[in-house]
Amino acid sequence: MNIWQSDRRRHVIANWEKGRLLGRGSFGSVYEGYAAGGFFFAVKEVQLLDQGNQEIQTKQCIYQIEQEIALLSQFNHPNIVQYYGTDKDEAKLYIFLELVSSGSLAEIYSRYHLKDSQVAAYTRQILHGLKYLHEHNVIHRDIKCANILVNVGGTVRLADFGLAKVTEFNNLIKSCKGTPCWMAPEVVNPKRRGGYGLPADIWSLGCTVLEMLIRRRPYSHLEPAQVLYRIGIGEPPPVPDFLSGLSQDFILKCLQVNPDDRPTAAELLDHPFLRRSSHA
């Protein structure tokens, strides 16, 4: 696969040690790593074999991991997590990534009440990352606070590209992938709606901005099956009246049921809500 080549400085990981557990995801656990020269990084550890030496990962899971590696190795953007390389043994695959030390936006909003200016600053950076991906016809497909990391300087990194997909020649995707509460209507019912493309990430972004401001997941009052039904019939998550007018307008522009009515990432960068950002 040839998308674009990264010229970002790479760290060579050698003689490394696995440190403390940082978190767990759908494909494995993430640890702190420590390499020769005193360099810290993140290690995504993927279990390939169980104790009986039987394969426990489906071919689809392995494909998604390989796809994530292939994409990450070519990304070159300050708002996308940096990839350093891989290692493996008989039972495990290790993916080396930039260590983003302040955690995810989900962790941050659970500890702090985010103001409009802070949410706008994060959103502006998320949009720059999405604009870069979309210019190269890459759909992330799993934009949510848990997959967006923040470093100590407040810089955002888009992460977890296991579901990301390259679209070619404006072909629409027809597989249902993502996390239900952040999925667009056309993702929930891809065949009925003729598939989906880049605007699906914009719907997820609207849900993510809402999530930061209300400090909980969208549709949090519903069970998962009810969530999928409501999204499938084109019902956006409730946007509370106590949010500022500009934030409501931004979110509702992202949550247009017709994907053709949603602004692009580049267009959203001009939205007045983002002028509240201290980084604007």
Q: Tokens standing for 116?
A: 């409009």
Which residues are CB-contacts of 173 (< 8 A; sequence separation ≥ 6)? 139, 165, 167, 190, 195, 196, 197
116 annotated to a ligand binding site: no
147 annotated to a ligand binding site: yes
Cβ-based neighbour number of residue 63 at 10 Å: 12
How far is it, in rounded angstroms, from Cα 191 to Cα 169? 19
Catalytic residues: 142
160 annotated to a ligand binding site: yes
What is the per-residue DSSP string for 116-169? HHHHHHHHHHHHHHHHHHHHTTEE-S--SGGGEEE-TTS-EEE---TT-EE--T
Q: Residue 267 is which amino acid?
A: E
Closest by Cα among 12, 62, 65 to 41: 12
Q: What SS3 state is found at 217? A: coil
- Could you tell me which residues are annotated as the binding site? 44, 147, 160
- Could you tell me which residues are annotated as the binding site for Mg(2+)? 147, 160
